[in-house]
Amino acid sequence: MRQALATLGVAMTLVVLTLVAGLAGTAAAATAKPDAHDRALALALAAKVSAFQDISSASGDSKVLDHCAYLKKHPNDAFAAVFAILPALLAIVVNEYRTQLTDVSTTIAGMHPDSPLFSQWLTAEGQDIDLILRFDNHGKKVDLCAAAQLMLSKTATAAQIKRVLGLDPALIGLLFSKQATAISNTISKLNPQMRTFLLAAGVARKDAVQLTSNT
């Protein structure tokens, strides 16, 4: 899906336990077959796929950085700027797609799958969308070039961030928190298994790919 959080770093800890858990998860996924209830839920979720497509398309807003005067003068900062503007991009996504995001969040919250795999994946997806919805700046227009320059500054203050982005600066730390990283990692790990599960549930391949995309 959106995977705006997919750029977060992956912390590699407890290697042995992770390998064991991964093997167990793979074995479980191989035998997981959707029952009638889960097939109905999967098809209901697939009906929302257009919302995911709209949200994913918002990532193109970052291309505006190609025309930023500041970055033309400081080309070495261009790569860092892509990460620095993530909070601003999420605010833009929420401004443009709040209705779709809220609808999908409500849909997911009302689903109670029988499959543990489906349940775990839905929980992580719901947490991901709910995190994005927290970046609501109440309709304030965001200048991505100005946001990039501010977020790259070592002297930026909380008041300046609030003024330019319209967001609580504390949200920026939340975006890069262990919790956010864990949500992103869970989705990425389960997506391949869920794609197979959705296909088995009768979801069209193009929709299953869209729902389980890491980009």
pLDDT of 192-213, one tens digit each?
999 999 999 999 999 999 999 8
Q: In this structure, is residue 35 part of a structural domain? A: yes
Please, which pLDDT band fits residue 49 given cuts at 50, 70 and 90? confident
Could you list the beta-strand ranges (E) of the chain.
none
pTM, full prediction:
0.77
Taking the mean position of all CA atoms in its chain, how far away is CA 208?
17
Q: What is the pLDDT of residues 79-114, one digit of tens each?
A: 999 889 999 999 999 998 999 899 999 999 999 999
Q: Which of 31-40, 51-60, 123-132, 176-185 has the lowest mean pLDDT?
A: 51-60
Please report the pLDDT score of residue 57 as a whole number: 64
Residue whose tokens read 């300046």: 160
Residue 175 lies in a domain: yes
Range of the domain at 76: 15-211
Domain presence at residue 129 = yes
Confidence of residue 20 (pLDDT cuts 50, 70, 90): very low
Placement of tokens 């543990």 in the chain: 116
Handedness of CA 190, 192, 198, 200 (dihedral sign): negative
User: Has residue 95 been placed in a domain?
Assistant: yes
- The full length of the chain comes to 215
Tokens of 90: 């999420």
5 is a domain residue: no
The neighbour count for residue 102, using CB atoms within 10 Å, is: 14
Q: Domain tally for the chain?
A: 1
98 burial (CB, 10 Å; 0-12 / 13-18 / 19+) is middle
**Both ends of the chain: CA-CA distance in Å?**
6
